[in-house]
Chain A
C-alpha cells in the first residue's frame, strides 16, 4: 500500500530538529497519557522538566544529581556513537559496564586495607581494561569469523550479570557483611573511593571525565583523520576500502573504544555513587545510552544534551511518582517515546512516502 522512497536531498535542518521534535511530541503524547492516568498533565510535565532545575525545594540537590545520573549515560553513549557511525553495533555496553566495575573493584578490594595514592588511578585503568576486554570478545569474533557483533555483545550482557552475581556472593562478598551479598563499600576505603570533588554536591571525577570526553570525542570525530575514516566506513565501506583503510582494524577499534568507555563508566559508578558491587549494581545505563546516542544525533555535543535530558526525566520522573502518584511504568513509557518519535521523525526526513495502487 505504501512505499518508502529515499529522499535525494536530506535537509540538514530537519535532521537537527529531530531531537527537539521528539522531546516536544513526547511531552504532548506523554501528557495525554498522564491525563488518562488521572494526573494533571501540565503539573506532571512541569515536575519532570522544570522542578529539578528550578524548584527551590529540590534544585540545589537535583541539579548536581542530573549531572551524576547523566555522566555514565554520556560516557557510554560517546563510545557507542563512534561505532554506530561506522555501522558497528555494540549493544552490550551494559555488560562492559559491569565488567569494568568488577575488574576495578576486584583490584582495589584485593589490596584492602592498604592505603596508597597509586590505588585510585590504577583501579580506574583496570576498570577501563575490564570493559575493553569484554568488548574484545565480540570484536575478535566479528573480525575473525564475521560473527554478528549485535548478538555476541548482547548475549555477553547476561554472562556479565551472572559474573556480577558470582562476585557479590562469592569472591567479592564483604567478610564483615553478616552473610549478606555485596562487596565492601568502596566509599569507606579512602584510597579507592571516587569521592565528591565539589563538597556537598556528590559531583565526582566521572562527571568531570564525561565533560572532558565530550571535547575529546568532538576533536576525534571532526578534527582528526580517524573520525573521517570511521564515518567513511559507515557511509561507504567500499570507498573506505579503496582509500586503503583497514576495515577490520577500524571495527576492532570502534568496539574496544566503546567497551573501554563503558568500563570507565562502570568503575566510576561502583567507586562513587553506587559504592559497592552488588547483584543489582547495573540499572540499565548501557541500554539507555543507546537512546542517548541517537537522541544526540551521534554527535558529542548532542550526546551531552541528550544525556542531560534523559537524566532529567529520571530525576524529575521520580518526583512525579511520589508527589503525583504516577506509576513508574508511565515514566518508562515516557522515556521510550523519546526514541520512538525520534526514529519516526528520521524516517520521514530520510524517506518519502508514496501511495501505491492496488494493481
Chain B
C-alpha cells in the first residue's frame, strides 16, 4: 500500500519532489494550542491567543508556541492533537470543552506529552483541567445591568446549555434581581459559540422584545455592534469590546489566561507540572478580570460594582449565597449558605424567577 501511495503521490506531486528541506524547530520546549474558532474573534479564542503570546514573551527563544484555529470538536480534534504530539509538542492546551474525549484519547497514546484542557471535568496522569469562575464576573455585570435597565428587561444570548453557561445566567440574574427587584430576564439559546450572524439575530430579537441591556455568553463582537446601532447597552465577552460599541459597552468580563499559561509552561519545563489537577480560579487569582467601567454608569453604581468585585476577590462575598430557590420553587440554599463546588460544576437548573426552560 505504501508503495502504491508513493507512486500515486509522485505522479501528482512532481513539484514537491525537488524540495527536501524539512521544517526544523530549534526551541527545546514546544507548546501547542488548539482553538475552537479563529483567534481574531475578539472573544474566547482571542484571549487564549493573548495567553499564548504571553508564553512567547515570557520565555523568548526557549519556548516555541504554535496553534491551530477552527478545530471542530470531533474526530478532527484527535487527529490535530496527535499530529501536534508527533511533531514534538511537549505540552498541548486544548481550549474548548468538547475536546475532552479527544484529549483523553491522545493523552493515552502520548504519556510524555502534558495536556491542559479548558473547562472539562475529566483528568488523567498527564491531563489537567482549568477553568475560570466566569460567574463571578457575571455577578458584577448582573448588578450593573439591573441598575442600568429602564425597561426592566435584560436580554441574554446563550450558547449551549452546559453548566458553565447556566451558572452564568443564574449568577447574573441573582445580582440583577438584587439590584432591581422588577428585573426580568429573556434568554435565547443559539447553539453555537461563534456565529456573528446568529448572534446578531438573537440580539435584535431581544431588543424587539424590549430588552435594553444585553448580556452574552457567545464569542463574537456582533452583539456589541447591534447594541450600538440600537442604542442599548451590552457587555464585552471574554475581552474588551468597547471598540465595537463605544456607547453601548458598559464593561467587559475579561478572561485572563496569561498568568496560568505562563505558570503551567514553566512547571512543564522545570519538571514540577502535575497531571490530574483541576484549577478553577476567579477574580481573586486574576483569571477573571472586570474591564474598565463605562462613563455611562453613574458613580454610585460604579462604586457598588467595585465593592462587589473586591468582595468576591477577597472571598467575603459569594455569587451564590442563600436563600436561593430553584426555578420550581424547591429550596436550594438556606440563608447564608453558599453553593458547593459539585453543584456549581454540574449546574443544570435555573434559579427561581427566571422564566423559560433550559433546552433539554
- Interface of A with B (CB < 8 Å)? 20, 23, 27, 42-43, 45-47, 49-51, 53-55, 57-59, 61-63, 65, 68-69, 165, 169-170, 173, 178-182, 185, 269, 273-276, 278-281, 283, 305, 308-309, 312, 314-315, 318-319, 321-325, 327-329
Contacts and interface: CB of A to CB of B under 8 A. Distances in A.
Contacts of A20: 12
B87 A323 contact: yes
Contacts of B66: 322-323, 325
B133 to A, nearest CB: 17
A323 B163 contact: no
Given A181-B162, A273-B75, A275-B101, A322 B87 contact: yes
Contacts of B346: 178-179
28 contacts: A27-B13, A42-B16, A43-B21, A46-B16, A46-B19, A49-B9, A49-B12, A49-B13, A62-B83, A169-B161, A179-B166, A179-B347, A179-B348, A180-B97, A180-B162, A181-B161, A182-B98, A273-B75, A275-B75, A275-B101, A278-B74, A278-B98, A283-B76, A309-B12, A314-B76, A321-B68, A322-B80, A324-B23
Interface string B85-101: 01110000000011001
Contacts of A327: 38, 69
B86 A57 contact: yes
Nearest to B88: A57
Contact of A170 (B15, B98, B360): B360
Most buried by B among A51, A318, A322: A322
A314 B70 CA distance: 13
A58 B86 contact: yes
Contact of B345 (A178, A305, A322): A178
B74 A280 contact: yes
B43 interface: no
Most buried by A among B6, B83, B87, B97: B83
Contacts of A181: 160-162
Nearest to A325: B66
Interface of B: 1-2, 5-6, 8-9, 12-13, 15-16, 18-19, 21-23, 32, 38, 66-70, 72-76, 78-80, 82-84, 86-88, 97-98, 101, 121, 160-163, 166, 191, 345-348, 359-360
Nearest to B33: A322
Contacts of B79: 65, 69, 315, 318
Contacts, number: 133
Most buried by B among A165, A180, A181, A321: A180
A76 to B, nearest CB: 16
Contacts of B75: 68, 269, 273-275
Nearest to B34: A322
Contacts of A279: 160, 191
Contact of B9 (A27, A54, A178): A54
B349 to A, nearest CB: 9
A280 B347 contact: no
Given A181-B162, A279-B191, A318-B80, A328 B16 contact: no
Contacts of A62: 83
A4 B126 CA distance: 63
A246 B92 CA distance: 58
A62 B79 CA distance: 9
Given A65-B79, A178-B346, A276-B101, A328 B87 contact: no
Most buried by B among A57, A62, A321: A321
A86 B32 CA distance: 48
A269 B66 CA distance: 29
Given A62-B83, A318-B79, 4 more contacts: A45-B15, A47-B23, A165-B191, A279-B191
A50 B13 contact: yes
A274 B163 contact: no
Contacts of A178: 121, 163, 345-346
Contacts of A276: 101
A283 B191 contact: no
A314 B76 CA distance: 9
B9 A322 contact: no
Contacts of B12: 20, 23, 49, 309
A46 B69 CA distance: 21
A6 B69 CA distance: 44
A280 B86 contact: no
B360 A50 contact: no
B162 A50 contact: no
A273 B101 CA distance: 11
A50 B9 contact: yes
A282 to B, nearest CB: 9
A324 B98 CA distance: 25
B202 to A, nearest CB: 15
A58 B69 contact: no
